[in-house]
Amino acid sequence: MAFDIVPLIAGNWKMNGLRASLDEVTRLKDLLKTGAASYCSIAICPPATLLAAMSTQAAGSGIAVGGQDCHQAASGAHTGDISAAMLADAGARYVIVGHSERRADHGETDALVSAKASAAIEAGLIPIICVGESEAERKAGLAAKIVGGQLAASIPDAAADADFVVAYEPVWAIGTGLTPTSAEITAMHDNLRAQLAARFGKKGATIQLLYGGSLKPGNAREILAIENVNGGLVGGASLLANDFFAIISAA
Ligand code: PEP
């Protein structure tokens, strides 16, 4: 991990969690009081139904909250959607955009992800922009090309003057228990860093580049030690405070 970039460990609760699940945040707050993870930025992206309550609960603890998606428009006739400003109003600091489950389940394109990231920036949120190749693409030797293309097209020009985060999440590693080798993660993150530097200059060297996909307490230390891995986006292992804290501590 590059030590001039403060790592971010962000939890993605996906469509999991009822109000009782907020007890995990209480547990995490207690664990964080030990000071074992003071170097790290921490965020949890719960379902939208829990966002405001979690934001209130997490106040003053160092745990930021985030949305899992936002609409690209500021407001309007979009039944069931949530705007970036609404997330910010509920206490969010971050919003995930372009998660592979949104790309697959809702047909989200790079252009739409870019528009969502712009909307997030406009609302004062930090977008966590996700990219990642499928298993077939990796097997065909296309991972670098696909992910590089997604990165170029999913980050809006507005990001040049704003905070944003990139998460590399190989689709085949999400929720499967599989992970790329350290050499594969290194190669991908080095490529992404070079691409960000080429587009954004000095700022490109400071953008947090997260790894996501079956990040667990057992592999976190090795993966988070890789140069150009500046934290993680964590799905399943973020649901339980003990597991999430172990990953935070590894960073
Ligand atoms: C994710 O969906 O962002 C993710 C990384 O999931 P998991 O950690 O469960 O693989």
The residues, any chain, with a CB within 8 Å of residue 30's CB and separated by 6 or more, are: none
Is pLDDT of 232 > 80? yes
Nearest CA to ligand 1 atom 7: 235
From 215, 223, 239, 240, mutation site for ligand 1 pocket: most ligand atoms within 8 A of C-beta: 215
Cα 176 to ligand 1 centre (Å):
9
Q: In the chain, what percentage of residues exceed pLDDT 90?
A: 96
Confidence class of residue 3 from pLDDT cuts 50, 70 and 90?
very low
Domain ranges of the chain: 7-12+86-237
List residues near ligand 1 (CB under 6 A).
Answer: 12, 169, 174-175, 212-215, 233-237
What pLDDT, in 10s, does the model give residues 143-154?
999 999 999 999
Alpha carbon distance 61, 185 (integer Å): 31
CA of 77 to the centre of ligand 1 (A): 31
pLDDT band at 60 (very low <50, low <70, confident <90, very high): very high
The single-letter code of the amino acid at 226 is I
pLDDT at 231: 98
The Cα 244–Cα 27 span in angstroms is: 11
In this structure, which topology does domain 7-12+86-237 adopt according to CATH?
Answer: TIM Barrel (3.20.20)
pLDDT tier, 2 (very low <50, low <70, confident <90, very high otherwise) = very low
Catalytically active residues, by annotation: 99, 169
**What pLDDT is stored for residue 109 in this prediction?**
98
Calculate mean pLDDT across residues 74-88.
98
Is residue 12 pLDDT above 50, yes or no? yes
Does pLDDT of 112 surpass 70?
yes
Ligand 1: which atom is nearest the Cα of residue 174? 10
Residue 220 backbone zone (phi > 0: left; psi -120 to 50: alpha; other: beta): alpha
**Each residue's pLDDT tens digit, 32-47:** 998 766 789 999 999 9
Expressed in angstroms and rounded, the spacing between residue 76 Cα and the centre of ligand 1 is 31
**166-189 mean pLDDT:** 97
Eight-state DSSP code of residue 149: H
- Contact at 8 Å (CB) between 107 and 145? no
Q: What pTM, to 2 d.p., does this model score?
A: 0.97
- What is the residue-averaged pLDDT of the chain? 96
Which pLDDT score, from 0 to 100, does residue 242 have? 96
Two tokens, residue 242:
């003990």
